[in-house]
Amino acid sequence: MRVRRTAVALSLAAAALLSSTPAQAASGYRYADFPTGSTTAPDGRTVLADPLGRALQLRGFNIDKYDETTEADVRSIAGHGFTLVRVAISWARLEPARDHYDQGELAKLQRVLGWADRYGLLAVVDFHQDVYGPKYGGGDRGIPEWATRDEGLPFVPDPDDWFAGYFQPAVQAAFRHLYDDPDLRQWQADFYTRIARELRGHRSLLGYDLFNEPSGPIDGDPSDPAVLAAASAELEQGRLPAMYQRLIAAVRGVDSRSWLFVEPTVLVGEGVPTRLPAFTDPRPGAARLGYAPHFYDTAVEAGQDWDPSDGFVDHYTAAITAYPQAGHLPVLVGEWGPPDSRTPGNTELVRRQVAAMSGFATAWTMWYWCQGSGGYCGLGPDGRPAPGDEPAFAPYAAAVAGTPATESYAGGVYSAAFTTGDGWTDLVVPGTAYPHGARLAVGGARPYAVDLDQPRGDRAGSARVLLPPGRHVTLTLSPR
């Protein structure tokens, strides 16, 4: 039911509808607009904001690392009420030889971004690497062999621990040369410039995650936590920020619109705060830079069920808070989620991670959008949320007109509390959470207008509320 009460409500409603894309209007669900700026929450975190000044919360999944994403996947992600995809790309695949770009691979990338355009999603492009690149068993992912220099040092893979490859002498040397050699620096910058030029026309393009899970040389025994922490600090205070500043300049040479996200080393997952410095954005106007840590528990990644008493979520949250607040950087958690959410501890981990990210992140993308019986898949074999992953498919405030919301969700009841501003506030109403529909209650103010679009099957609906400004309100969704 929609009720309009004032002339200002009519004008705001018209503006909101006109700002939707045709695909968004046709779907009945308002997807996130491109964030042109940011706003600061009462707790000090920086949140992405749309052109109307509404605080955005972007949620979604990683896709396409293994070249398996289809248009149906992208359509389904949007249909479930998500607003963001993180698209992993590989330098080795896109530029298999120096100055030779694979047109077929570029076309695939364009096609995925085109699907995001069509279905109203935003997309962050992830310059991905695992254990540097193909020379070290990473398939065709990461940095190409023609940009790999390891001085002939040894590499002995561990079939039971792929991550241990980062500690091999050859891999550490390859990273050192990438950071230090002038020609490799230039070739990497040229690649980033080319990709940014190729993709800059997509309205879905949120921006770029500049380097996945950065690593580097380690002077000493990597099994010693003190040695590893010292190597991480040295990398984040020297070679890594120098690379990021080069890559920021490379993208900005052809694209002043996109958001650019920097990643810390993976030690942030161990509760070690980053030592990255502040960065300069050469674009005209306000900077569009963000921070993109990952959110993985080492023991869980090694196959254990999560122990809720280990303090991981609290330690992680404390470790990542200070840096983005000091730099006024929005936080995008680019990867998170256990390899198997069905075990009791990991089920609780997913619940706590979603709750924690509502307090420090403006965006997240879970690893990974696929359908199966395990192996990080967000969907089970039946196409429903994988058992244990249901909190990732919960309702949320996609856009808040006013100060960013505080949220809670338990027992099918979702609540968002905030102080209102001008414009519509949009909630996502997932069909997986409300298979029989939802009820909306508004507390603290009489709304100018309410538009509740009920979910249908797995397709999410939306709850849109236009409220008088300056009121402390609570929006509550409950099962119908």
Question: For residue 223, with 0-12 CB atoms within 10 Å meaning exposed, 13-18 middle and 19 or more buried, which class applies?
Answer: exposed
Residue 448 in domain: yes
Does residue 49 belong to any structural domain of this protein? no
pLDDT in tens, 124-163: 999 999 999 999 987 788 999 999 999 999 999 998 888 9
- Residue 28's pLDDT is 39
**Do residues 278 and 427 share a domain?**
no
User: Is 60 exceeded by the pLDDT of residue 417?
Assistant: yes
Residues 5 and 144 in one domain: no
What CA–CA distance (Å, rounded) separates 451 from 397? 15
Q: Are 73 and 62 in contact (CB under 8 A)?
A: no
> Which residue in the block uniquely carries the two structure tokens 């429903």?
384
Distance CA 274, CA 223 (A): 19
- pLDDT for the residue numbered 13: 38
CB atoms within 10 A of CB 278: 12
117 in the same domain as 18 = no
Q: Where are the alpha helices (DSSP H) in 19-102?
A: 22-27, 71-79, 91-94
Contact 421, 399 (CB under 8 A): no
Same domain, 278 and 337: yes
Domain CATH code at residue 196: 3.20.20.80
Q: Are residues 364 and 416 in the same domain?
A: no
In Å, how far are 390, 440, 468 from 447, measured between CA atoms? Answer: 31, 12, 7
pLDDT at 121: 96
The per-residue pLDDT for 410 is 94
Least confident of 42-51, 62-71, 105-114, 212-221: 62-71
What are the backbone dihedrals phi and psi of residue 37, each rounded to the nearest 5 degrees, phi first?
A: -160, -160
Asked if the model's pLDDT at residue 189 lies above 80, the reply is: yes
Residue 401 is classified by DSSP as S
Establish if 454 belongs to a structural domain.
yes
Mark whether 276 and 415 lie in a shared domain.
Answer: no
Query: How far apart are the C-alpha atoms of 426 and 479, rounded to whole Å?
Result: 18
30 pLDDT exceeds 60?
Answer: no
How many domains is the chain partitioned into structurally?
A: 2
What's the pLDDT tens digit per position in 364-396?
Answer: 999 999 999 878 999 999 999 999 999 999 999
CA atoms within 13 A on the CB side of 177: 20
Task: For residues 26 and 61, state if they share a domain.
Answer: no
Would you place residue 31 in the very low, low, confident or very high pLDDT band (cuts 50, 70, 90)?
low
Q: What is the pLDDT of residues 62-107, one digit of tens each?
A: 997 657 899 999 999 999 999 999 999 999 999 999 999 999 999 9
Residue 38 lies in a domain: no
Domain that holds residue 443: 1-30+398-480
pLDDT of residue 49: 97
Q: What's the whole-number mean pLDDT along residues 275-303?
A: 97
Radius of gyration of the chain (CA): 22
Residues 316 and 448 in one domain: no
14 pLDDT more than 50? no
- Answer yes or no: do 466 and 338 share one domain: no
Looking at the fold, whether 97 and 172 belong to one and the same domain comes out as yes
pLDDT of residue 17: 36
Cα 76 from Cα 86, distance rounded (Å): 15
Residues 198-217 have a mean pLDDT of 96
At residue 65, the pLDDT reads 63
Of 393, 409, 429, which closes a domain? 393
* pLDDT of residue 283 exceeding 70: yes
Cβ-based burial of 260 (10 A; exposed 0-12, middle 13-18, buried ≥19): buried
Among 393, 414, 430, which residue terminates a domain?
393
320 closest CA partner among 306, 305, 333: 333
Structure tokens at 446: 């009489």
| Average pLDDT of the residues in 162-166 | 92
Asked whether residue 431 is domain-assigned, the answer is yes
User: Judging by beta carbons within 10 Å of its beta carbon (0-12, 13-18, 19+), is residue 450 exposed, middle or buried?
Assistant: middle
Q: Kindly report the pTM of this predicted structure.
A: 0.94
Q: Are residues 147 and 262 in the same domain?
A: yes
The whole-number pLDDT of residue 480 equals 94
Residue reference for tokens 């085109």: 114
Residue at 204: amino acid letter: S
Q: Does residue 46 lie in a domain region?
A: no
Q: What is the pLDDT of residue 67?
A: 73
Asked whether 401 and 424 are in contact (CB, 8 A), the reply is yes
103-118 and 71-79 helices, crossing angle to 10°: 30
pLDDT band at residue 270 under the 50/70/90 scheme: confident
Which one of 22-31, 136-145, 208-217, 267-276 scores highest in mean pLDDT?
A: 208-217
Average pLDDT, the chain: 92
Q: What is the amino acid identity at position 144?
A: P
Assess whether pLDDT exceeds 90 at residue 324. yes
Last residue of a domain, one of 359, 393, 427: 393
5, part of any domain: yes
**Residue 48 maps to a domain:** no
**Are 330 and 469 part of one and the same domain?**
no
User: Residue 466's domain is classified under what CATH number?
Assistant: 2.60.40
